[in-house]
Structure 1
Amino acid sequence: MDETYIKVKGRWTYLHRAVDRDGQILDFMISERRDLAAARRFLKQAISANGAPDRVVIDKSSANLAGLQAIIGVLKLTPSGRTVEIRQLKYLNNILEQDHRFIKRITRPMLGFKAFHSAAATSAGIEAAHMIRKGQIRANGASVFQILAGLAA
């Protein structure tokens, strides 16, 4: 799990993202702050959608560490019966750092967003298109518009 920056109304906001070890996008969320509350909210959202992880790799962000410890304190154990391992090393989340490049390539020429809700909706579309391109979502005969509409619902 990691975060990257995007501009909304001329101010930097944070796009929190989580991927698995294969680089598949698990979840994402935009927040105005990079603090304990935002980290807890993102982790709660990601864990409720994907289940409890066995291992979490983060960078040296103290907010992410505190959020993880708070959420893991509530969870106690993973479904497999082991505690959640937190690895806080700068270079271990390289898969995610490289995946940020795709988001930056799309949002940089846009010069930011005018409203927070439009940034959230647009980034959801960008992430969905990226997931389709990576083969993470199967089309099964549906058009890209139908897939995006289903993800947005």
Structure 2
Amino acid sequence: MKNARHPRYARHRFPAEVISYAIWLYFRFPLSLRMVEEMLAARGIEVSRETVRQWALKFGQGYANQIRRRLPAPGDKWHLDEVVISIAGRKHWLWRAVDQHGVVLDILVQSRRNAKAAKRLLRKLLKRQGAAPRVMITDKLASYAAAKREIMPGVEHRQQRGLNNRAENSHPPTRRRERMMKRFKSAGQAQRFLSVHDQVGNLFRRPANTNAADYRKSRVQAFTTWAEVTWAEVTGLAAGF
């Protein structure tokens, strides 16, 4: 049995099962911190929403990094897209890359929508993934072509209309969270939150064209991986205490 008092939870009043459950609720579903607080209270766990927020800040990125290491290798097609988000009354751009299976590879919040911003995204992707894709699919924004010529000149680039639905379909969960959080407060907050949110979504994503039995198996495996990542008992999360 795993030790609930793993060193990463030292000096915390609550065990790993409670902390990981709260973080799972917050990043997996479009819930406010107050809602997570109430859901925990319904299970007899008295904890403030500020504590949940601090748990998310302290443990969220570490969980996301571990999830990334455990996921299968990404596909060889990268779909890139950018969407506007409003932060403190200013327009920013959320750049996101997904593979052909819908797995989010990475995100980058930037204040510009130009070739320099596209280059930053491609460099980050190459550093994170370790290799270039076979095909890169984008919309018709000219910044992508300029960045690709410099960063990944040997990669095939497709910009036909309608090919990039995979990336465009990855934005609605972000929009839901943006509404629930009444917009992001800063670019740094958006970057930190979405970096974790997308990786948790990757872990619990339902694979396409699967029947109910296969989906249940993949969900059990996702809970098992989550327990390994968080050093929590898998039965505690699955049963909801």
Pairwise TM-score range, normalised by the shorter structure: 0.7 to 0.9
* 2:141 alignment counterpart: 61
What is residue 11 of structure 1 aligned with on the other side?
Answer: 90
Higher strand share: 1
Structure 2 gap ranges (5+): 1-79, 208-221, 233-241
- Calculate percent identity across the aligned residue pairs: 29
Query: Contact 2:107 / 2:191 at 8 angstroms: preserved in 1?
Result: no
CA distance in 2, matches of 1:58, 1:24: 16
1:28 partner SS? strand
User: Which has the larger displacement, 127-136 or 25-34?
Assistant: 127-136
Residue number among 100, 113, 116 corresponding to 1:21 in the alignment: 100
What is the CA-CA distance between 1:24 and the residue it aligns to? Answer: 0.9
Structure 1 residue 40 and structure 2 residue 40: aligned?
A: no
Q: Deviations over 1:72-116 (max 9, x none)?
A: 24xxxxxxxxx3110012210111111111111111232322222
The 8 Å contact of residues 10 and 112 in structure 1, kept in 2 or not, is answered as no
Is residue 2:186 matched to residue 1:111? Answer: no
Contact persistence 1:19–1:96 (CA under 8 A): yes
CA contact (8 A) 1:56 1:85 kept: yes
Q: TM-score, normalised by structure 1?
A: 0.79
Shift in alpha-carbon separation, 1:121–1:56, aligned structure 2, 3 A: same
Q: TM-score scaled by structure 2?
A: 0.52
Instruction: Say which SS state the counterpart of residue 150 (structure 2) adopts.
Output: helix
Which has the higher mean CA deviation after the structures are superposed, 53-62 or 123-132?
123-132
Mapped partners of 2:199, 2:141: distance in 1: 26
Name the aligned partner's letter for residue 108 of structure 2.
Answer: M
Q: Which runs of 5+ in 1 are unaligned?
A: 74-82, 146-153
- Greater share of helix: 2
C-alpha distance in 2, partners of 1:2/1:98? 10
* Equivalent pair of 1:31/1:38 in contact (CA under 8 Å): yes
The count of residues paired between Structure 1 and Structure 2 equals 136
Let me know the Cα RMSD of the aligned residues. Answer: 2.2
